[in-house]
A and B are shown apart, each in its own frame.
Chain A
Amino acid sequence: MNKRNGIFAIMMILFFTSCKKDNIDSSPVTVNTKDFLVNGDPSGGNYNFFSFETATEITPADSATNKWDFAMRFETFIVNSNASGPGNAGVQIVNQAFDAVTSAPATGYRYDTTVSQKAIKGADWYNYNPTTRSFSPIAGKTFIFRTATGKYAKLEVLSADPTDDAGNLVVPPTRPTKIKYKIRVAFQGNGSATF
């Protein structure tokens, strides 16, 4: 039974992956792993802006445009809509491995409704240890974004390290000035909700 099912499964996989390949040719889902160095000051200062489409950081000069999708400062996320920007972005966090998220849900996206009511709360995606003053992103928390322009993207925070301005790791009691995030992002450019 196992063998036959196994063969069947392989065939199905081949079938679907080949189908997917066709999709990729016409509308590629780009997956990138990026270092994202953000302002490490919890109390104030600039956010660092990120665009899924270019998979790069966006200059703060463009903060009032649709060019960015989310931004971070310390461990705070803001998304480009409502209280935080002119775009149409929204976000939700699902309890699933990044690779297992194959499509973006149609509903359930949240926004920064006010400056203090943000879509993403720290407790949603990391554990903070006040004793060691370290926070660790929780594995299996996948962020699903609707981008500022209405396309879909997913994101996984792989690691968060306290660093100095140059991105070199620092350990207590040296206070970090930046947090270096390693993020994995996937962007669906054709407007569909599948990854």
Chain B
Amino acid sequence: MIPMLQLVLRDLWRSRWPAAYGLFLLATSEALFAFGENRAQAVASLLTVTVLVVPTMTLALGVSQCFDWRYCAELLLAQPVRRGAIFAGQYVGLTLVLSLSFVFGVGLPFLWMGLGSRAAAQALAVLLAAGILLTLVFGALALLLGTASEQRLPALGRAFSLALFLCVVYDGILLAAATGLADYRLEKPLLALALLNPVDAARLLVLLKLDVAALTGYTGAVMQQFFGAGAQSVALLPLALWVAVPAALAYRAYQRRDF
């Protein structure tokens, strides 16, 4: 797998997109401090950016990379190399590079601005963890889309639709349900629905560190209980599933695919 990983890393390095992605995040993060925000507020704003940009960019870059890599993969498969090794190299390479770009872009300004209070530092740590988890989830989804499609543009189209759906439309549905069906006891279904979406689960994971005051203040008994204890592990579970299931599906598609 290691030689495959090296090949993938070289390929990604040459494309320069991961660097651009990291620099974009860096600029955003830096701009927040330029607006004079304190660290907790900066983490909060970065959270909104993260849950929008990380899924979209990971999907787009991941799908593109699949197609860039395809010729190379076809050549490799003619050699005595296991398919699993090529797939693993591709997945690990992609998510490693994008995670590093993310951590670099979001985290670097905190290095020279200082971490601030312990609470702010913890919130940043959870934000970085959530970003990496999202990269893992959407890296797997990207490989699935990239492997299952024949052509680049339809695959990219699907990737963007999926990102748009999970990042924005899904929340719109949640909001519509929360407001339109307010007369019913929908707290538990709403909570479950939110946790089903990896983007929302990641967002809740950070909120639990960042906004406990707001979360415990304005909700009914069910959410009160949920946010009160053990919610972090509950939010982690769907994220883990969202990494495992698409990765497994992508691997299966990769094995069956006739290159």
To the question of whether A and B form a pair in one complex, the answer is no
Interface, chain A (partner B; CB < 8 A):
none
